[in-house]
Amino acid sequence: MDSTIQQIFESTGALLQGHFLLTSGLHSDKYLQCARVLQWPQHAEAFGRELASSIAEKADFVISPAIGGIIIGQEVARFLGCRAIFAERENGNLRLRRGFSIDPGEKGVVVEDVITTGGSTSDTIQVVRHHGGTILCARSIVDRSGGKTLLDVPYRSLWTLSVPSYAAIECPQCLSGSRPVKPGSRNLA
């Protein structure tokens, strides 16, 4: 499966090379722009089906951190037969908006496009718990930590790869004078 997903990322121009500032604040020479893959409904559908097939327990909802996880979360929810919601950052914190709600005791799945450190996924888990919900598991299309991401719920990805990332003061590209670009959706300011 890994080689098929890599081929899809390469053929859609979603595997970028350069100097990037990641959502986590780390720097990397590779960036996975899932939006370029998910713009093709057949890829979103296939990835959603595959992620949903690994979830045995019945979920009441799928929740994704905005904006990257919204499309794949919708697809997973479609295959699970439940609703899809998302959490958005407001003043730096993830929260439910747009009339979304989670009733106490409801069971959910967190779905993300790419996980590097697991920060947005962990924040999303906390949103659900704050509302009295339970998280069954977390899923992502890509785990770029090489399997090192630690979450306090069962986690699985479709494609696990190890892409080095660095703090700015240790980044080889920064040390050589290069400035990173921020192609992601969250502004770190």
Contacts of 177 (CB under 8 A, 6+ apart): none
CA-CA distance, 108 to 91, in Å (whole number)?
A: 25
pLDDT given for residue 187 in this prediction: 44
pLDDT given for residue 188 in this prediction: 41
Q: How many CA atoms lie within 13 A of 159 on its CB side?
A: 21
State which residues of the chain have pLDDT below 50. 187-189
pLDDT given for residue 163 in this prediction: 84
pTM attached to this predicted model: 0.86
pLDDT given for residue 54 in this prediction: 94
pLDDT given for residue 189 in this prediction: 38
Angle between helices 41-53 and 70-80 (to 10 degrees): 60
Cα–Cα distance list, 117 to 2, 135, 146, 148 (Å):
20, 18, 10, 8
Encoded tokens for 10: 């390469």
Q: At 29, phi and psi to the nearest 5?
A: -95, 0
pLDDT given for residue 52 in this prediction: 97
pLDDT given for residue 14 in this prediction: 93
User: Using alpha carbons only, what angle is made at residue 73 by residues 70 and 74, rounded to the nearest 5 degrees?
Assistant: 85
Strand partners, 137: 109
Complete domains list, the chain, with CATH: 2-163 (3.40.50.2020)
How many Cβ atoms sit within 10 Å of the Cβ of residue 132? Answer: 11
Percent of residues, the chain, with pLDDT higher than 70? 96
